[in-house]
Structure 1
Amino acid sequence: MPSGRYSLHDPHDDTPLGEEHFSCAPGPAGWRYTSQVFGTDSTPTGAVDLTLDSLGRPLRLQLRSGDWQVRGGMLEGLTWVRTDATDPDTTHATEGHDRAHAFTGRSPAFLVATARLLRLHPGGRNRLRLVALTDPVLAPRTLDQGWSLDGIETHTTDSGPLRVERYTVADLQTGEQHQVHLAGDVVLAAPGIELEALDGPPNQRPLSDPGA
């Protein structure tokens, strides 16, 4: 079960946003990621708890940012409920539904989750519809992305061979593209994300996985 720490930055101007302390592992359902998010002054600002099924679909999501919280999962697409801690009776809770494939947001968890859902072969590409939960108030919006797996490189490490997947991710509305490098269920490099510490090797996808 790898655990570690990411530093988070604004992907446009590199302004520090804080850190995310995480752990992740395969589980009975498929894969689970949990984390605590901290601001630049080390104050707790949020949390992530994401469980995927064996096909990489979002079985359950609990996401918190400040006083805002979203709980969601799969039900004929995606469904979610967004609440505010200052509204304890949930009088003003809002429910949402979209025939999207997965959630996305600032957390590195969502990059790993999308890659596990797509299961691309090297040279393969696909597009998908996502519900983005935007900090700081977790406002939902839908977007379309295109993912391509440009290649897989194998590196020798003390704990054995490490396969690194190189993706190009495109916003299909704006045409903006960026690179994402994953090692199993750990993000090595992506806009606004830096892996600062890692305790234990990533969980690699088995070679029998269609996308491995």
Structure 2
Amino acid sequence: MRAVFVGAGSLAVLTVQCLLKRGHEVVMIESDKERIEALSEELDCGFLHGDGSKPALLREADPDKTDFLFCLTGNDQTNILASLAGRSLGYRRVVPKIDDPEFEHLCIELGLHDAIIPARTTGRYLADMFEGRDHMEIIALVKDEARVFSFIARKEDAMPINELNLPEDSRVMFLYRNEKFMLPEPDSTLKQGDEVMIVTHSKNIEKLHERWNH
């Protein structure tokens, strides 16, 4: 698979290192030329120098051959703008990083459902660690062809779960509404903004991405 990164901060570098070890192709777009020169000595990937929110530079990174566009600069507005530009150019999936949670609903309204808030994720992890919860136990349960898929419910998804017309071998297991965990029934109705977690067969992942993360 192929990934393009806008920004070369610590989060981007750590992710790139993991992807390269797993044999994936990576291109990094960075505005700081000295940063590129330093990273080029330790990362075996492609580099483009310039503003990653500019459509011309994103087009040069070849969206047609790219599976993910990660927008991980230190500026929320730049990440959102780069994600919108990337989506308009045909990147299959765009993931903006936002540090200010106030931008979360804006991302949802703009259709950027894969937006991540690293501080919130880390905060949840540390709180769970404090209470003795082991996330590795959950990961270990996902074996064989089982996969976990999540999406943010849109206005058109506001319907009973049993009317979602999910692919075969797919089930809504739980959801978060206003940051609160919910264990729904099949006839429970989704609301816009719900974060829905589905367990499914690996063969369904592409179809689910096309429906909710295009």
| TM tier, smaller | under 0.3
Comparing both chains, which one has the higher relative contact order based on Cα–Cα distances under 8 Å and sequence gaps of 6 or more?
Answer: 1
Q: Higher strand share goes to which structure?
A: 1
TM-score normalized by structure 2? 0.26
- Who wins on radius of gyration, i.e. which is larger? 2
